[in-house]
A and B are shown apart, each in its own frame.
Chain A
Amino acid sequence: DAGITQSPRYKITETGRQVTLMCHQTWSHSYMFWYRQDLGHGLRLIYYSAAADITDKGEVPDGYVVSRSKTENFPLTLESATRSQTSVYFCAIMTSGSGNEQFFGPGTRLTVL
């Protein structure tokens, strides 16, 4: 457990609404990541951040926006939610140990109606 919290844990929203998923780490690891998990696709990287104010796109960034003004927080915003964004979203951090291990938060289950 690397002290990663995600909120909310469950969210139901409607198509077209803006939704922000929060990720907070109690440590100060530099790297943070957002993944989505869908049946048949496994986990896919949405965005990641190497440090405060440094973000980069992953495999599936379209429709998402991220920011990282503070090292410990990495919010993910869906600016105009679509049904295809119904998914389970996981935040992760990477430790600075020898194996570059990534540790995951508990996830947010998002349903877009």
Chain B
Amino acid sequence: GEDVEQSLFLSVREGDSSVINCTYTDSSSTYLYWYKQEPGAGLQLLTYIFSNMDMKQDQRLTVLLNKKDKHLSLRIADTQTGDSAIYFCAESISSTLTFGKGTMLLVSP
């Protein structure tokens, strides 16, 4: 079955880069996604990458995909306190998503 793993917690200082990692198990994933959830809110789609791509950059966000190792990462450049949230990676197989349990990012001033 599918399983998506993430580390639970990451703490960085404002201005540093943050790297959140994710591993998945299903090699038939078509798309992989990163979502952000702030306290008391729904999930906000940040970015996604097609499974035949290695990298995607979108402003401060860089997604790297190593399909051989089934490893996905999200790099946030110049991390700000407003980036403090829970970040979820998800893989898409057909029309459904399987989510990791989320990584809490804490950004200190």
* B101 on the A face (CB < 8 A): yes
* B24 on the A face (CB < 8 A): no
CB neighbours of B102 from chain A (8 A) = 42
**Are B96 and A104 touching (Cβ within 8 A)?**
no
CB neighbours of A18 from chain B (8 A) = none
A28–B95 Cα gap in the complex (Å)? 17
* A79 on the B face (CB < 8 A): no
Most buried by B among A48, A58, A101: A101
* A50 on the B face (CB < 8 A): yes
The range of chain B's interface size is 20 to 34
Residues A91-106 near B (CB distance < 8 A): 92, 94, 99-106
Determine the main DSSP class of B at the interface with A: strand
Known contacts being A33-B96, A94-B95, A101-B33, is A107 close to B42, with CB within 8 Å? yes
Q: How many A-B residue pairs have CB under 8 A?
A: 50
**Are A90 and B43 touching (Cβ within 8 A)?**
yes
User: Which of these, B35, B45, B95, B101, contacts A50 with CB under 8 Å?
Assistant: B95
User: Which of these, A42, A45, A99, A105, contacts B96 with CB under 8 Å?
Assistant: A45
List 19 A–B pairs whose Cβ atoms lie within 8 Å, in order of A's numbering. A41-B101, A42-B88, A42-B99, A42-B100, A42-B101, A43-B43, A43-B88, A45-B96, A48-B96, A50-B95, A90-B42, A90-B43, A94-B95, A99-B33, A99-B48, A101-B33, A102-B45, A104-B43, A106-B42
